[in-house]
Amino acid sequence: MSTLVFFKLLAIFVVVALGWVVGKLRWLGPRTETSDPARTLANAAYYIFVPALLFRTTARIDLQAMPWDTVKAFFVPVLALMAVVYLRERHANRHGALPTAAPSVRAISATFGNSVQVGIPMAAALFGESGLAIHVAIVSLHAMTLLTVLTALVELDLARERRELGHSNAHLAKTLGRTMRNTIIHPVVLPVLAGLAWNLAGLPLPTVADEILATLGQAVVPLCLVLIGMSLAYYGLQGAVRGAIVLAVLKLAVLPALVLAVAHWGFGLAGLPLAVVVMMAALPVGSNALIFSQRYETLEAEATATIVFSTLAFVVTAPLWLGVLALLG
């Protein structure tokens, strides 16, 4: 592992530790039945900063320059594993032992990588400008794709739950319409759709608007890292360790192995593109998993623990995957 990536990981742990201190000392107030500072911070990220980042990213994507074969070689296995985890968790939770949103929360924890804070410096250090360009192309679609799919799934699950509990006697068509509205009028999906519409219209972002969006987007990384630390302090790890370890193994071992197999033997990737997509898949869990869990008030402690465990383990697993890639030439 390069020195640049090591220091980036160190900086992440320091900021997370700062968030833990903030939560432990209750600088933003205690967690009560009516007040939860960690959730308030998550809502700020989810409703203000993340939408700005997603809109700006999608509005500025150069769709014609995208390496679509490489992109497909990454997203096909990622979405496949996401679907497997989601369906497996839905089956396991058919009796309602966990909240309705649990399958989607675990699916995002098993597949959503820290593609910016860790991924960008890793790609720059290991693969240079050419590899970084491929990585950034995938990053530009990463949050948009995974968050949009999982938002649709969780909203469908919640609509189904409301219908089964008799909270809605509406006709099926009305229920589907309400679910679609909740999915589209959403702090993740709506800015993505708006950004894509702006992009397809061929309109440049006004300088002032671009600067405002860039400023808001810059807050996402430090805010989310502090949120991870605060969540550790407020929720702890009790009852979350086993699930977090399983999810970390899925993210650090199963997902990169699946991407390697599909990309190399399915899509015929080799050399630099193959190395970039495998290492992208091998990244630790990203903070959006925690924001997603906070949004639906589900498995916050497990999502937090998964992020921490996977980031710690990445120091060991990253060199192993680099070794596997070296063997493949």
Q: What domains sit in the chain, N to C, each tagged with a CATH number?
A: 3-27+38-328 (1.20.1530.20)
Which token pair is 141? 């679609």
* For residue 281, pLDDT beyond 90: yes
* For residue 168, pLDDT beyond 60: no
Q: Please give the average per-residue pLDDT across 160-168, as a whole number.
A: 71
Q: Please give the average per-residue pLDDT across 36-64, as a whole number.
A: 87
Radius of gyration of the chain (CA): 20
Which contacts qualify for 32-36: CB closer than 8 Å, 24 or more apart?
36/234
pLDDT at 17: 92
* For residue 181, pLDDT beyond 90: no
Pair 113, 283: CB distance under 8 Å: yes
Question: What's the CA gap between 51 and 213, in Å, rounded?
Answer: 9
Closest to 37 measured CA to CA, from 167, 307, 221, 223:
223
- Site of tokens 């599909």: 262
* For residue 169, pLDDT beyond 60: no
User: What is the DSSP code (8-state) at residue 34?
Assistant: S
Q: Please give the average per-residue pLDDT across 4-15, as a whole number.
A: 82
* For residue 39, pLDDT beyond 80: yes
User: What is the DSSP code (8-state) at residue 240?
Assistant: T
Q: Please give the average per-residue pLDDT across 303-321, as a whole number.
A: 93
Better-predicted residue by pLDDT, 179 or 207: 207
State the chain's maximal CA–CA distance in angstroms. 60
* For residue 284, pLDDT beyond 80: yes
**What is the tens place of the pLDDT at every residue in 73-110?**
999 999 999 999 999 999 999 888 899 999 999 999 99
* For residue 42, pLDDT beyond 80: yes
Question: What's the CA gap between 9 and 5, in Å, rounded?
Answer: 6
Quickly state the pLDDT bin for 282 (edges 50, 70, 90). very high
Quickly state the pLDDT bin for 12 (edges 50, 70, 90). confident
